[in-house]
């Protein structure tokens, strides 16, 4: 739904880029990462105003970080990555405006089959990440991936900046905290 208004321009078509990497030895743990790759974010039908679009080309940095994690694993000493498998999905999309843009109050059915009421079209990153995480969850179940840990990487803009200012922030969700946090799951 997020990419509908970008479809008339071929170079703006959405893509899901899938990457995988595996260390030496039998796989003992799996890290599955969804990366937000919004190539440009206008805000959609809830258009960003007052210069708010400036810098939105950087809304793909979550996807870049996810791809960079695979590269870092590939370059790391083998003893640090033995038994590790990394699976990444990059949700690459352009949140454009146009006659077919998704709009507030529209109900979208996600990959997981859940209906989502769009409150503001500038929530495109959450829509994209939800579908990527759902793909990764299905893959983890289908392939019985050992000790799966799920991460989402995103550039937080707009409302996050209102909450935190111009600072980087990493947050565990309530579900991640209840499971002991993410950090302990990533440790060798």
What are the tokens at 179?
Answer: 């499971």
Spot the catalytic one: 29, 36, 48, 94. Answer: 48
- The answer to whether 30 and 149 have CB atoms below 8 angstroms apart is yes
What Å distances lie between residue 32 and 46, 99, 106, CA to CA?
31, 36, 30
Measure the CA–CA gap between 34 and 89, rounded to whole angstroms.
Answer: 5
How many of the other CB atoms lie within 10 Å of CB of 10? 7
Q: Is 48 a catalytic residue?
A: yes
Tokens 């509908």 appear where?
4
Measure the CA–CA gap between 105 and 94, rounded to whole angstroms.
Answer: 20
| DSSP at 86 | E
What are the tokens at 21?
Answer: 């990497």
Measure the CA–CA gap between 57 and 14, rounded to whole angstroms.
Answer: 15
Q: Is 126 a catalytic residue?
A: yes
Measure the CA–CA gap between 43 and 29, rounded to whole angstroms.
Answer: 37
Spot the catalytic one: 126, 137, 147, 185. Answer: 126
As annotated, the active-site residues are 48, 126
């Amino acid at each position: 739904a997020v990419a509908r208004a970008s479809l008339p321009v071929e170079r703006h078509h959405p893509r899901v880029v899938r990457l995988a990497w595996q260390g030496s030895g039998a796989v003992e743990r799996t890290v599955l990462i969804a990366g937000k790759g919004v190539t440009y974010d206008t805000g959609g039908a809830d258009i960003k105003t007052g210069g708010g679009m400036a810098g939105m080309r950087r809304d793909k940095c979550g996807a870049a970080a996810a791809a960079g994690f695979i590269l870092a694993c590939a370059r790391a000493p083998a003893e640090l990555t033995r038994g590790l498998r990394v699976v990444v999905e990059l949700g690459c999309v352009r949140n454009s405006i146009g006659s077919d843009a998704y709009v507030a109050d529209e109900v979208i059915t996600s990959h997981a089959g859940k209906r989502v009421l769009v409150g503001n079209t500038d929530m495109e990153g959450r829509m994209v990440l939800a579908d990527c995480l759902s793909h990764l969850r299905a893959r983890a179940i289908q392939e019985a991936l050992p000790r799966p840990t799920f991460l989402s990487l995103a550039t937080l803009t707009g409302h996050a900046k209102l909450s935190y200012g111009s600072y980087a922030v990493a947050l565990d969700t309530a579900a991640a905290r209840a499971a002991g946090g993410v950090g302990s799951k990533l440790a060798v």
